[in-house]
Amino acid sequence: MIFRVKTSRKLRIRYKGSMAEYYLAVDGGGTKTDVVCVDETGAIIGKGSSGPMSLTVTTIGAASFNLIEAIRIAIESHPEIKQFKRVVLGLAGVDTTEEKTRAEEVFKRALSHYQFDDFVLLNDSEIALVNGSDSPNALILVSGTGSICYGRNSKGETARVSGMDYLLADQGSGYSIGRKVLQAAVKSFDGRGKSTYLEGLVCEQYMVPKISFLKEEVYNPDLTKSEIARLSPLCTKAVEAGDEVAISILHEEIDEMILSASTVLKKLHSGDELFEIVFAGAILELEYVSSKVKEQLSTQFSNLHFVRQDSDPVYGAIKLALRKQDKQV
C-alpha cells in the first residue's frame, strides 16, 4: 500500500549522501506487534511483526524486545536507517495519563539506539479509527481477542467504552465468548446447565475423553487470554448446528457490542450528520454478528453508515505520522 501525499515544504535528513525522511508506525497489541517503515512519500520501506507489546499482558523487557525485533525485521534490508522523523505508536492498554507516561518512558528507552525527532503514543483504538475512517464523525467497534469502542465527532469530542482488559471489561469479545464456551461445556457435563454440543467440541479441541480431564489443559499452565479467545469459533460452529446454548452465548455478546456502540453514539451523535461505524476484529467479520449489530443500531439511531476496516490498524499510525508533517493523505 502506498499513501499518495502532498506537502508544502521539504524537511530533509541525509542518509549516506541521499536525502530522505523515514517514519515509523507501530501497532503494539496484546497478541502481536506490527511495524511499518515508510518514507516521506508514504512508500513502504519495510514491514515487521513480533510478539505482544501491551504492558498489561507482558513484561517491560519482553515488550521492548518485541518492538526492537519488529523494527529490525522492517528495516533489515536498509541498515542505513538510524533516524526517524516521527514515531507513532498505537499501544493496547494505555488509558490514563499515568499509563501513557510510563509507556513513553519504556519505549523511548527501548528505541535509544535510534534517533527520532518526534514520538507520539496513543491508545491503539485511536490509530485503528484513523485507519478505518476519514470522517470527522466516526467510531470504531472492535471485537477481536478483546473489545473496545472509540469515537470522535466534528466538534472535537471523543468517547470510549470498554478496553480495560478481561477482568474489568472485554464483554463482546472473542475472549468473553471463549470463556463462556468453557463454562457452558462444564455445566453441560456436570448437569448444572443444558446439554450442549459445545461439550463435545471442547473435548475434541483439547483431545480429552471427557470434561473432567480438562483442568490439566486449562490450568497447567493457565490458558492465556488469547488462547481462550481462540475457542470462540467453537461457539460459531455450535450456532450453525442450532445449539441453543451457543446461540444464547453469541446473542449475549452481540448485545454487549450493541451496548458499547450505542453508548458512544449517545455521547457523540446528534443525528443531524452522517456518522460512520467501523467494524474491526475477527468476531465482527462474521456476517451473522455484524448484521445483527447493524440492524439494532439502525433502529436506535439515524444517519449511520457502516464499513469494515479493510487493512491493518498500523496504517492508521502511518496516516497520523504523515499528517503531522502537514501532509494530506
300 within domain boundaries: no
State residue 7's pLDDT score.
Answer: 33
CA distance 275 to 136: 8
State residue 14's pLDDT score.
Answer: 37
CA distance 285 to 180: 20
Q: What is the pLDDT of residues 171-200, one digit of tens each?
A: 999 999 999 999 999 999 999 999 999 999
Whole-number average pLDDT of the chain: 92
Q: Is the pLDDT of residue 329 over 60?
A: no
Do 203 and 254 form a contact (C-beta atoms < 8 A)? no
Residues β-bridged to residue 184: none
State residue 327's pLDDT score.
Answer: 46
| Opening angle at CA 272, ends 266 and 277, nearest 5 | 55
102 within domain boundaries: yes
State residue 268's pLDDT score.
Answer: 99
190 within domain boundaries: no
- For residues 301-319, one letter each, b for 16 or more C-beta atoms within 10 angstroms of the residue's C-beta and e for the rest, the string is beebeeeebeebbbbbbbb
Report the SS3 class of residue 81. Answer: coil
Residues β-bridged to residue 277: 139, 306
State the pLDDT confidence band at 57, using cuts at 50, 70 and 90: confident
* Location of C-alpha cell 507501530: 26
State percent of the chain over pLDDT 70: 92
State residue 246's pLDDT score.
Answer: 99
Q: Count how many domains the chain has.
A: 1
State residue 206's pLDDT score.
Answer: 98
CA distance 26 to 67: 8
Q: Is 253 exposed, middle or buried (0-12, 13-18, 19+ CB in 10 A)?
A: buried
Q: Which three cell numbers stand for residue 313?
A: 490498524
Average pLDDT over residues 218-236: 95
Q: Is the peptide bond before 221 cis (omega within 30 degrees of 0)?
A: yes
Q: What is the pLDDT of residues 86-131, one digit of tens each?
A: 999 999 989 889 999 999 999 999 999 999 999 999 999 999 999 9
Any residues with CB less than 8 A from the CB of 142 and at least 6 apart, and which? 125, 128, 148, 149, 280, 281, 284
Q: Which three cell numbers stand for residue 7?
A: 506537502
Greater model confidence, 326 or 145: 145
292 within domain boundaries: no
Q: Is the pLDDT of residue 5 over 60?
A: no
Do 22 and 39 form a contact (C-beta atoms < 8 A)? yes
184 within domain boundaries: no
Greater model confidence, 6 or 124: 124
- Rounded to the nearest 10 degrees, the angle between the axes of helix 97-110 and helix 60-74 is 50
242 within domain boundaries: no
Do 119 and 129 form a contact (C-beta atoms < 8 A)? no
Domain residue limits at 70: 13-129+313-324
Do 131 and 276 form a contact (C-beta atoms < 8 A)? no
254 within domain boundaries: no
Largest CA distance in the chain: 74
Average pLDDT over residues 154-180: 95
Any residues with CB less than 8 A from the CB of 43 and at least 6 apart, and which? 2
Do 245 and 234 form a contact (C-beta atoms < 8 A)? no
State the pLDDT confidence band at 56, using cuts at 50, 70 and 90: confident
CATH of the domain at 110: 3.30.420.40
18 within domain boundaries: yes
Going across the sheet that includes 138-143, the strands are 158-162, 147-152, 138-143, 275-280, 304-308
Any residues with CB less than 8 A from the CB of 166 and at least 6 apart, and which? 146, 175, 176, 225
